[in-house]
Amino acid sequence: MNKFLLKNPIITEKSAAMGHQGKYVFLVDARATAPEVKKIVEQVYKVKVTGTNTLNVKDKKRRLGMSVGVKPGYKKMVVTLQKGQKLDILPQ
């Protein structure tokens, strides 16, 4: 188990709205598994995690004039906390 599997929280309008429901979104390493991320979040933030959901975002092709490039894909986890608990990662 490596704490570097958990990179950083993803803060968007949608993830901020999910924060009110006790769900938080994290960018994780592509090799990370749900049980590993659950343990890391519980250790780092001192909360109880009740569930995790994994999303693999695929690569996307992007163009700039004639040249074609690729926006790399990534893996993110939605972590659900026990009722009544919250993380202080969202900007106010």
* Full residue range of the structural domain in which residue 68 is found: 3-81
42 vs 57: CA distance, rounded Å: 24
Helices (H) and strands (E) in the chain, counts: 2, 6
Quote the pLDDT of residue 55.
95
- The answer to whether residue 86 sits within a structural domain is no
pLDDT tens per residue, range 1-42: 676 888 999 999 999 899 889 999 999 999 999 999 999 999
Quote the pLDDT of residue 88.
83
Quote the pLDDT of residue 80.
96
- The answer to whether residue 27 sits within a structural domain is yes
Q: What predicted TM-score, i.e. pTM, was given to this entire model?
A: 0.85
- The answer to whether residue 92 sits within a structural domain is no
- The answer to whether residue 63 sits within a structural domain is yes
CATH number assigned to the domain comprising residue 64: 3.30.70.330
Share of the chain above pLDDT 70, in %: 95
Q: What's the structural domain count of the chain? A: 1
